[in-house]
Chain A
Amino acid sequence: GQQLNQSPQSMFIQEGEDVSMNCTSSSIFNTWLWYKQDPGEGPVLLIALYKAGELTSNGRLTAQFGITRKDSFLNISASIPSDVGIYFCAGSTSGTYKYIFGTGTRLKVLA
């Protein structure tokens, strides 16, 4: 089955640093979602994007819906230890309830 490519696969950063990750697809999507998964838990929705070029923030998190509609970006500013986890992107075409998930970016924050 199709999966979206997320980059980087994993990253170690120092507390206080900014983080950037992206997600790319060979297909055009109409909706992009970003989730965070803590160890042993289910993913939790962080940000939803519904329009090409849209930029949406949620606290220290900012996500953008790429102009080509084939990519999306997530930025975390001033990282803190609780940002540790796996970040997943997900995309969907219009008229479907089925989302395709990315391979995940594993973030580790060094205090």
Chain B
Amino acid sequence: DGGITQSPKYLFRKEGQNVTLSCEQNLNHDAMYWYRQDPGQGLRLIYYSQIVNDFQKGDIAEGYSVSREKKESFPLTVTSAQKNPTAFYLCASGTGAGYTFGSGTRLTVV
């Protein structure tokens, strides 16, 4: 079955550490996206990529980094520069007809 997989489901980070969230899709979609969701809030765009080896900053890119070396993969690194990283992170892939979302990664700073 085609789909989009995020891992891990839960992630704990110590202060000052970088962590990487995985996102893999087998839908053959060119475009991929990372969103952040805080409790009771909507979706805020972090980064997006419309083609391999190219990506653009979204609305809240500070403290995050991404890479797009393969069409199927779009990992997100939450760096130590992100001062408030505790949130629910959603990856999506899509076409002009809409997005398919992964099941999310909940990141908690301990």
Contact = CB atoms under 8 A, between A and B. Distances in A.
Contacts, number: 61
Interface centre among A31, A42, A45, A101 (most CB of B within 10 A): A42
Contacts of A90: 98-99
A92 B45 contact: no
Contact of A98 (B48, B100, B106): B48
Q: Is the interface of B mostly helix, strand, loop or mixed?
A: strand
Tier of interface size on chain A: 20 to 34
A96 B42 CA distance: 21
A54 B40 CA distance: 30
Nearest to B42: A103
A46 B99 CA distance: 11
Contacts of A92: 96
Interface residues of B, number: 30
A42 B102 contact: yes
Interface in A23-41: 31, 33, 35, 40-41
A67 B30 CA distance: 31
B44 interface: yes
Contacts of A104: 41-42
Nearest to B6: A42
B78 interface: no
A1 B44 contact: yes
Given A1-B58, A40-B106, A42-B90, A99 B42 contact: no
A111 B9 CA distance: 31
Interface of B: 6, 30-31, 35, 40-45, 48, 50, 58-60, 88, 90, 92, 94-104, 106
Given A40-B88, A90-B98, A90-B99, 10 more contacts: A1-B44, A3-B42, A45-B98, A48-B98, A88-B42, A88-B43, A96-B96, A99-B94, A102-B42, A104-B42
Interface of A: 1, 3, 31, 33, 35, 40-45, 48, 88, 90, 92, 94-99, 101-104, 106
